[in-house]
Structure formats: C-alpha cells, structure tokens
Structure 1
Amino acid sequence: MALYNQTVDFLSESFSKHESQLSLLAVAGASFTLGLLSRSLLARNETLQTVLASPRSTVLPGISESENRQLPLPTDVLPGARDVASPYGSIRVYEWGPEDGPKVLLVHGITTPCIALGGLAHALVDRGCRVMLFDLYVSQYLVVLELYLTLKNNRFGRGYSDCPADLPQDSRLFSTQILLTLASSPISWTGVESGKFSLVGYSLGGGIAAAFASYFPQLLSSLVLLAPAGLIRDSQISFQSRLLYSKGLMPENVLGYLVGRRLRAGPLTTPKPKNHKLNAADALTEELSSQNAGQTQILSREYPHINVPSAVAWQVNAHAGFVHAFMSSMRYGPILQERQWSTWTRLGEYLTAQNSVSSSTDKRPSDHKVHILCGNNDAIIIKSELVPDATAALGGNAVFKFYEAGHEFPSTKYEEVASYIFELL
C-alpha cells in the first residue's frame, strides 16, 4: 500500500507539473509495480457487472423529499421526468411541451448531465416546441478498478441513467440510446405522421448527433450542432490525452486516479497559452469557464438555483464511475477527426443528394444543411479549423453562426440559440 501511494503521488505531481514531458521510464516502472496490483484487484472482481446502477436506485430510496430538493441535481430538476428500462440499463428522460408542437431532441456533452441544456429546452417550449432530453449512458468498458474506487460501494454514471459496464462508449451505443429514448415517448417522434424532429447536439453530443444523422437522416427535419466534437484535429491533442487514448501504455488504475484528481480540481483560472494543446480536463473546464461572466442562467425553473458547476461537481465527486466513463468517452466517443471523418462525409453525401432533388412539390421542404453554432472564444472547437474542416467533410452543406462566448455558450446564451433553432422549425 505504501509503495502504491508513493508511486501514485510521484506520478501525479510529475503529471501536473510536466505533463508534456512525462517520463516513459517512470510510466514503465509504475506499469510493472501497479500492474501486479491491478491483476490482484481483478482476481477479486472476476465477474464484472453488466449494468452499474445510477443514484436513482442506489441513493434516492434512502433520502427524503426535502433532501432530494437540496441535491445539486434533484430528480425532478426538469419537467416530464421518466425512467426508461432498456437492455443497457435505465435511461432518465425528460419530455414536455405541446404535443402538437415541432419536436426537438437535445443531446448533452461529455461531462454535464442534460441539465446543461435545461435553459435551452425551456426557451424552446416557450416558443411552442415539444422537447426531449436524456442523460447519456455511461460505459465502463475500461474497468480495471483503481484502488480508490474499490473502497466505494456505489458506482454511478451521468445524471440518473444507468451504466452499461461491458460496452465501449461509442457512436453505436449512443445511437441505440437515442432510438430507445424516442421509442419511449407517449407520442410519435419517428412515424409517418410525426413531422420528423430536429436533433440538437452539444459538444460530445454534437459528435453523437452527427453520427446518428449519418445513419438515420430520414428521421430528421433539421440538424443543429452546438460546439460539436467529431472534427477535432489530432494535432490539437496533448501528450496527456494521448496517454488517455493509448490503452495499455499506463495502468488504468493510475491513469484513472490522475484524471480523477484533475477533474475534481475544477476549472483552471489561469489563461491558456496561445499554443495550448487540448488535454482531457479541457472537456470539463471549458464547459464551466465562463460561469462567472455575469450571465443570468436559469436552467431549471423548478429549481432556479441549479447551475452547471454544482451539478458537474456533484457528478464528479458522487458518481464513482464517472472518471472511467469520462475516459471511455474520450477514447471511443465521436470526438477526433481521424475517427469520424467518414461519418461526416457520409452525412455530407446524403445532403448533397437531397439538395440535388427538386423539392418544388414539397409543401414544407426539409432543411438540407447542417447548422453549426459555436463561440468565437472556444478553446476546444477552434473556429479557424472547424469551418474549413466541416465545410469539406459535409460537401459544403453547412451553415455557421458564431457567438461572442466560449464553449459553454448553450447554457449562457440559450435564448439566442433557441430563437435560431425555432426559425429552422
């Protein structure tokens, strides 16, 4: 135990101070020592669960209604809550608004539960839309349990959705979750008379939405991507994140400890250098970095005090499976251009074909462009890279709009974003 603690402390200090110069020799030495510990732990955990329960079933039964209302993420934080049973675990879904209004499905990002899009959802309902949000699954395909996590009994995921523990968190899993969520609605979202629906994805959710649209474009009336992942250039990824993506180079328990320690530290306040390369923690910090910029945010009208930083902090600290889920999303999710280019080009080819067909007989033609909204000050989705890359991948079938904001703009400028989306509907 002493050797484990000393080694982890050494690596953590080195990782935080000199992440771009981390010694491979130190990693190899730690791999040998901690690999033995990992195998020892796994020997006691040979039968891994296929579904890791969310706080809905592990925490909520033991608290009162008044205690629930004090949580950073109460169960009724948004209207129309329901839990949908599926082969991959339970999905928490929120759906409300006029049943005959234009339909909008919102998909959130890598670190935030769907409450981050709560303000946008309320603003769309105010305009007469029917909205649906859900908490993404959390996969723990990477589970080689770090010592810290083995001391805890509860292993949770994002928000109140369960975790399919034996699957990678990739486009296939998320596309399936979208279809399961749509099928759970009391009204039709995909039928002939449904009028189709608009799909809106934020950050990782943007990559998920683009992947879904590339396979099921006929279901959509429009596609709106908010600071979308999926086309991030490989050259933008830091050495730290390359370790994260490179399974087997570093023991999962050590890597999980280091990533978890960084995520729990919260947003960085020092400005990033001009040549800053993206690391794993940027996905968290950039969603929070402008929360002190003075904007009034009401993400939940039932609980006006709810905010993204407190909800994320609760998730990182209370969901013991979140760190591994975060790592799984970073490894397998629709984030990097080198893995998603064919997905985006497939979508572009479909749009080009649709735009070549005369729509003169259509009473209400479908929108055959991808609408991409971003912040001018986004440190993750770089304007000068996104515009040429998305234009090329989508065959010119893209429309861009930029706001004076950072990566977090959907939770701070939701009225403006809602007006843009509603015009498409």
Structure 2
Amino acid sequence: MALEFFRQTADFIADSWISPHSQRPLLAVAGASLTLGLALGAIWSSENSHPSKIIPSPLKSLQSSPSESTAFPLDVLPGARDVATPYGSIRVYEWGPEDGQKVLLVHGISTPCLSLGGLAHALVDRGCRVMIFDLFGRGFSDYPADVPQDHRLFSTQILLALASSPLSWTGASSGQFSLIGFSLGGGIAAAFASYFPNLLSSLTLLAPAGLLRASHIGWQTRLLCAKGWFPEDIVSKLVKGRLKAGPLVSPKKHKDTDKDQTVGVEDALTEGLVASPNQVLSRAYPSLTTAASVNWQVENHPGFVSAFISSIRHGPILQKTELENWKRLGSFLSQRKDEDDDTRIGLSHNKVLIALGETDNVIAKDDTVEDATAALEGNAHFIYFSIGHEFPSVEYDKLANHLIEFWK
C-alpha cells in the first residue's frame, strides 16, 4: 500500500514539474514526498535489483537490426569506431586530413556528440583532423553504472579515446592537439587541461561549466542532486519525464541585473536544444537535430538517464568543487610567462579562449568572465555570440573562423 502510494505521489510530482501550465503547489508536494521518501527509501531500494556495472548502449541491438536505427543512424558522423575499455565501449568518430591540426571536441551533458557535429565538419573543411566521441551513457557509448561521472572518469575517457587513434595524438611527434569543450564538456576540458597541459597546443571553452555558482542552482535541481533524499527510481522517473518532454518554453531573456537568477535541468534543456533552420549537424543526415537525439537517448539508451543524473551530481559543474582545477591551470599559464619561448612545452597559447552567449541563461556571461579571469589569473581571452547556450550548434561556421584565427 505504502509503495503504491509513493508511486502515485511520484506521478503527481512528475506531472507538476513537466507541465508548464500546472498550478499545483509543487513545493508542498515535494516536501511531503521528501518525508515519505526518507521513510520508504530502504523498502523501495530492496524491491529493485542492483544495476549491472556496465549498462550497454543501444549499439549491439541496432547492429543486429539496422533497419531500426533510422532515428539515430550508426553512421551519423564519419570515421566511426567502437573502442573497448574497462569502463565499457566508447563510440569515437575521427576524420579529416591526417596531417591537419588535431582537434578534440567534448560535448555537453544531455546530448550525444552529434551536437558538435556542425563545428566538427566546419573545422575539417578548414583542414583540421577532428576527433569527437560520445561521453559515457550518451549516444553509442556504454554507461559504467558503478563509477561516478566526475572529471576523473571523463579525463580517463579522453585518454582512452586518444589512444584508440591510428595516428599519434600525444606522442613527441604528434605536435599536440587543440582541446575544445562545450558546457559540461567545458568543465571536463578545463579539468583535463589542468592535469595534462603538456599534451595540448590550445584550450577553448564554449559556455563552460565548472565555475557555476551554487547560488544560481534551482531548488528542483538541488533536490535531485541530494542523493538519498528520494529513492533513486523516483529520481530517475522525474528526470526521465523532464528529459522526454524536451524544451517547453521559449528561452528567457537574460537580465544582467538579476543576481538571483537560478538554473536547472529545465533551463539546460530549453537553452541547449534550440535549433536553427540552417543547422546541419550531420551532413549524411541533415535533418537530425539535438532535440531529436535527446529524445532518442531517453527512449533507447538504458543508461542515459542515470548518466545524466550522475553528471549533475558529480560532474565538473559547480565552482565549489572545480575551482581548484581552474586555479591549477591558471597557475601553469602564469608560470609559463617567465619561460623562454623555445623551452615552453604545452599550451603554446598564453591564454584560454572562452566563448560565451550574450543571452545564455545556463552559463551567465558576467559571472563567467569575472570568475574565470580570477581563477586563470587573467590568462583568458573572451569572445561573445549574440544568442544563448546553443551557439556552438547554431553558429558553428562563425565559431570555426574564430578558432582558426585564434590558433594563428
């Protein structure tokens, strides 16, 4: 009886959260459900078997039934390969001139790497050798359910992807590579660069996570992040419903004076999935969109929702957990100023390039400029786009031109 009531309560909360027109007292319901969750969490958990350590992506099932892969094709980007690792299989794409400048792109929290497909194609057009991969639990990459999705796991995944290439990306003859990270991928890239700066020729962060102030996190997302407050199956139900619903409202207009602005899952979706009529992420399948890819993951990837939740909880998002990584990187860049140009190793550019959206309600422009400048000890160069969080997947040609100019 109690468990059935708990399930009905979860349905009620999910409906309140997902519906943009709901007038139900969500906060009161959440509080009551929280109390009930604490009492019944152990019982609920005992009803469910523990997840396997590695949750497979839809890859194998689609390989056995290729006709079912039309919603998200296996060859969505060129140069696909699947890399077996102790953490599960990683889907990697690599293409472009073998002697071109090497560029690695890391995508955001809710989409597969297709979201940066337009930028990847644009860089290949400009002579680059590009590598891009699905983060664990996204696209065609497996999900290691027993490992938190923090910067340690993602840094390891980057190294595993690089090691799978037929070309040398990290050896003495490789010439180093440029690293680009978007949103969550920006936080991942900053953390990776702070530990492995000698592998990189440049670092570019696109609307990066990693310095998000805790005061800007919405209460709904805070509840989801607080592991143990709700049984995990209830959290998964809520998040899956919200992800499946997709963006429900138009992006909010940014207010520079709004210091109480908060963000959450709903903001990330609304901002990150906005498309453009001219957007082409996959040249083989030009009609594919980021919103469609998220819906496909919700319906077909059994580890996606859990991976999303784990990234919210443990990923390189909040300033209070990631500031040391940014400071380490800033210290490295400052120390290099005293070195002779001929003896410098790693990050040949003296500054990190940070691109921001003027109307981004996920990564606030003014906050990021202030906090990144301080953490990186002034070793940052900023450029701006007149739209929101979605600019890397919409204005990728303009962004590619900025990157080429910066690298020169």
- TM-score in terms of structure 2 length: 0.92
- Residue 345 in structure 1 maps to residue 327 in structure 2: yes
Partner of 1:193: 173
Counterparts in 2 of 1:163-174, with a 5 A limit? 163-174=143-154
2:83 alignment partner AA? V
Partner of 1:368: 350
Partner of 2:107: 108
- Residue 54 in structure 1 maps to residue 54 in structure 2: no
Q: Give 1:360 shift.
A: 6.0
Q: Give 1:19 shift.
A: 4.8
Corresponding residue to 2:12 among 7, 10, 18: 10
Deviates most, 248-257 or 26-35 = 26-35
Partner of 1:389: 371
Once the two structures are superposed, residues 362-404 of structure 1 have per-residue CA deviations (whole angstroms, 9 ceiling, x without a partner) of 8998102110001101001101101010000001000000001
What CA distance in whole angstroms lies between the structure 2 residues aligned with 1:413 and 1:8?
39
What CA distance in whole angstroms lies between the structure 2 residues aligned with 1:365 and 1:38?
47
Give the match's secondary structure for 2:265: coil
Distance 1:6 1:49, change over 3 A: closer
Partner of 2:81: 82
What CA distance in whole angstroms lies between the structure 2 residues aligned with 1:22 and 1:94?
45
1:404 alignment partner AA? S
What CA distance in whole angstroms lies between the structure 1 residues aligned with 2:29 and 2:338?
52
Q: Give 1:15 shift.
A: 4.8
- Residue 277 in structure 1 maps to residue 279 in structure 2: no
Partner of 2:248: 268
What CA distance in whole angstroms lies between the structure 2 residues aligned with 1:57 and 1:284?
28
Q: Give 1:58 shift.
A: 2.9
What CA distance in whole angstroms lies between the structure 2 residues aligned with 1:423 and 1:228?
20
1:286 alignment partner AA? E
Once the two structures are superposed, residues 256-300 of structure 1 have per-residue CA deviations (whole angstroms, 9 ceiling, x without a partner) of 2112111111102255486541112322221113x1xx4401111
Partner of 1:135: 134
Distance 1:13 1:30, change over 3 A: farther
Partner of 2:39: 32
Asked if structure 1 preserves the Cα contact closer than 8 Å seen for 2:13 and 2:26, the reply is no
Asked if structure 2 preserves the Cα contact closer than 8 Å seen for 1:19 and 1:239, the reply is no
Q: Give 1:315 shift.
A: 1.1
Partner of 1:150: none
- Residue 245 in structure 1 maps to residue 225 in structure 2: yes
What CA distance in whole angstroms lies between the structure 2 residues aligned with 1:307 and 1:239?
30
Name stretches of at least 5 consecutive residues in structure 1 with no aligned partner: 139-157
Distance 1:250 1:398, change over 3 A: same
Q: Give 1:22 shift.
A: 5.2
Partner of 2:96: 97
What CA distance in whole angstroms lies between the structure 1 residues aligned with 2:147 and 2:58?
20
1:357 alignment partner AA? E
Distance 1:276 1:22, change over 3 A: farther
Q: Give 1:352 shift.
A: 0.4
Partner of 1:144: none
What CA distance in whole angstroms lies between the structure 1 residues aligned with 2:54 and 2:31?
35
Asked if structure 2 preserves the Cα contact closer than 8 Å seen for 1:20 and 1:239, the reply is no
